[in-house]
Amino acid sequence: MSVKTSVDTNTPLTHLDEWENDVLERYPDPSAIAQEKATEEFRNYSATEKDSVREFYRLNHKYQTYDYVLQKKADYLAFNKKEMPVWSAFDFLNELVDDSDPDTDLDQMQHLLQTSEAIRNDGHPDWMVLVGLIHDMGKVLCLFGEPQWGVVGDTFPVGCAFSDKIVYPEFFKDNPDIHNEVYSTKYGVYQPNCGLNNVHLSWGHDEYVYHMMKDYIPEPGLYMLRYHSFYSQHREKAYNHLMDEHDQEMFKWVDLFNPYDLYSKNPNQKSWDELKPYYQELVAKYLPVTLKF
Ligand SMILES: [Fe+2]
Ligand SMILES: [Fe+2]
C-alpha cells in the first residue's frame, strides 16, 4: 500500500523533476510534436509519477495560503541562513540529487547548463545566459527543510480568488483562504491592474531566487526568474486583471525564456569542465563573490 495517499507527507515526489515532467506534458514542445518526438518523452512519464504529481498539487493548493506566503517571505527574505560563493551554491543544489538513483546524478546542474547553453547558442544577451544558469537556484529551499510543495510547482497569486486555469484547481477546496470574504474575491487584497510587484505569489524557488538576484541582473532577467513557473499567466493569461502595462511588456521576456526552461534537452551537451571558464567569467561579471541565502 502506498504511504503517499494515506497521510499528508511533504515528499510525494521521488524527484523534484517529476513536477517539470508534468509541466512538459501539459505544454509539450511544439517543434517536438511536429517531429513526433514527443511520444517518447510522454512514455517516460509513468502513471505512478502522475499520482505523485497529483498528490504534490493537492498539498500545494491546500497549504499555500496568503498567511503562509507572508510568513515564508519574512523568514527567507532576511537572507540570514547562509553565505557562500555561487559555485558552492551549485554544489549545494546538487545535493538535491537522490543518491539511490545513479541516472539522476548531477541532474540539477545539467538542467541549468542545458538551459543556459541553449540561450547562449541562440545569441541572446549574456545576462539572459546567466539567468538560464541560476533560474532554479532557489531550489536550495529544499535543503533548508522546506517541503516540496513550498519549493516547486506552478505559482499563482494568493490573497485573491484562485483561477480555474491553475493546474488541478479542484484542490483549492481545501485551502482555507477560499472561505475568507476578502481573499476569495476576484481582486482580493489587491487593486485592479495594480501591477504584479504588488501581488504576492505562492512561495517557492522563483520568488526566492528573484530576491536573491534583484540587485544584480537587468529587469527583464528578473521577470524571467520571478515568474518562470507562473504558468496560469504566461500560458493561460488568467491574471491580466492584476497586471499593469509594464508587466505586459516585461512578460514578453518571460515568454522568451520559458521554452528554454522546458525544452532544452541537448544530448550533445558540452562537459562542465569545458564550459567552466566561460561561466566563471560570466558569474564574476554580474554577481558578487558570495551570495546570501
Ligand atoms: Fe524553475
Ligand atoms: Fe528550470
DSSP secondary structure of 136-191: TGGGGGGGGT--GGGTSS---B-SSPPPTTSSSGGGGGG-GGGGSTTTTSSSTTS-
- Residues having C-beta closer than 5 Å to ion ligand 2: 136, 261
Indicate the pLDDT class of residue 35, thresholds 50, 70 and 90.
Answer: low
In this structure, which ligand is nearest to the CA of 21? 2
* Rounded distance between C-alpha atoms, residue 110 and residue 104, angstroms: 10
Answer yes or no: pTM beyond 0.85.
Answer: yes
- What ligand is nearest to the CA atom of residue 24? 2
- Type of residue numbered 185: T
Q: Nearest ligand, CA of residue 208?
A: 1
**Within a domain: residue 17?**
no
**Residue 14 confidence (pLDDT):** 81
Q: What average pLDDT does the segment 140-169 reach?
A: 95
Please tell me the distance between residue 133's alpha carbon and the centre of ligand 2 in angstroms.
9
What average pLDDT score do residues 158-170 get?
97
* Residue 226, number of CB atoms within 10 A of its CB: 25
Q: Residue 195: which pLDDT band, with cuts at 50, 70 and 90? A: very high
Residue 249 lies in a domain: yes
Structure confidence at residue 19 as a pLDDT band (50, 70, 90): confident
pLDDT of residue 3: 40
Q: How many structural domains comprise the chain? A: 1
Q: Looking at residue 106, what is its pLDDT?
A: 55
In a domain, 219, yes or no: yes
Mention every residue, 6+ apart, whose C-beta is less than 8 A from residue 35: none
For residue 124, the model assigns a pLDDT of 98
CA of 93 to the centre of ligand 1 (A): 13
H/E run at residue 128? helix 126-134
- All three cell numbers of 274: 569545458
What is the overall mean pLDDT for the chain? 89
All three cell numbers of 112 = 541549468
Looking at all shown ligands, the one closest to residue 152's CA atom is: 1
Question: How many other CB atoms are there within 10 angstroms of residue 158's CB atom?
Answer: 23
Distance 206 CA to ligand 1 centre (A): 6
pLDDT category at 165 given cuts 50, 70, 90 is: very high
What pairs with residue 201 in β-bridges?
A: 157
Does residue 52 lie within any of the structural domains? Answer: no
- Residue 14 within any structural domain of the chain: no
pLDDT digits (tens, 9 = 90+) for 226-269: 999 999 999 999 999 999 999 999 999 999 999 999 988 777 88
Residue 248 phi, psi dihedral angles, 5° rounding: -60, -40
Q: Measured between alpha carbons, how far is 62 from 155 in angstroms, rounded to an integer?
A: 13
Q: Is residue 1 part of a domain?
A: no
- Residue 30 banded pLDDT, cuts 50, 70, 90: confident
> Residue 274: which domain range?
65-292
The answer to whether position 47 is within a domain reads: no
Does the residue 198 lie in any domain?
yes
69-96: average pLDDT: 91
